[in-house]
Amino acid sequence: MVNKLVRHREEARDLVQETFMKAFGSLATYREEYQFSTWLHRIASNCAIDYIRKKKIEALSLDQPIQIKDSQVTLEVPDWSANPETEWVEKQRSLTIQEAIDSLPQGYKEVILYRHKEEKTYQEIAAILGIPVGTVKARIFRGRELLKKKLKAWRKGYAG
């Protein structure tokens, strides 16, 4: 991830080292209800972003005209950030997935929600539900298979 942001191997290595140093120094602030990898990823992201900001990359202003020899050029950049159609499609997809999850039998639904919405480990789910880890794994596998079938059937229903 740091490599993608910085794009210089040696600088990325330095930032990864800095990430681990910051993480070690901040272990007391880590909260166990969150995954350690997510917490570490956030520290790495912040290190890379801080590095990029400090580099002070020369950028063009989108608000000010650019002076070229004897004239000025104004940049016009289309705004693609808000696309109602894309937003609608994404909302429908999300609703469809939630509807499919809600239609699962309770045993499958709860493990899917714990695993994918709350990012719990198999062990955490087993402890919460008071069932063996193997049962959690089996329910998640079967729940995912049921979801695939439901979503595939619904997709065919919309296309047909």
**What's the predicted TM-score (pTM) here?**
0.47
Looking at residue 60, its pLDDT comes to: 61
For the CA atoms of 111, 115, 118, 121, what is the dihedral angle to 10 degrees?
110
75 in any annotated domain: no
Q: Is 46 a domain residue?
A: yes
Top mean pLDDT of 15-29, 55-69, 106-120 is at 106-120
Asked whether residue 138 is domain-assigned, the answer is yes
Count up the domains in the chain and report the number: 2
Q: Do residues 84 and 138 make contact, with C-beta atoms less than 8 angstroms apart? A: no
How much of the chain exceeds pLDDT 90, in percent? 31
The answer to whether position 78 is within a domain reads: no
Candidates 20, 48, 39; CA nearest to 119 is 39
Q: What CATH number is associated with residue 132?
A: 1.10.10.10
pLDDT at 57: 58
Please report whether residue 92 resides in a domain.
no
Helix (H) / strand (E) containing 67: strand 66-68
74-84 per-position pLDDT tens digit: 777 777 677 78
Identify whether 134 is part of a domain: yes
Q: Which of 15-19, 53-57, 135-139 has the highest average model confidence (pLDDT)? A: 135-139
More confident residue, 77 or 90: 90
- Does 88 fall in a domain? no
Does residue 153 lie in a domain region? yes
Which of 138, 131, 153 lies closest to 108, judged by CA?
A: 138
Enclosing domain of residue 24: 2-55
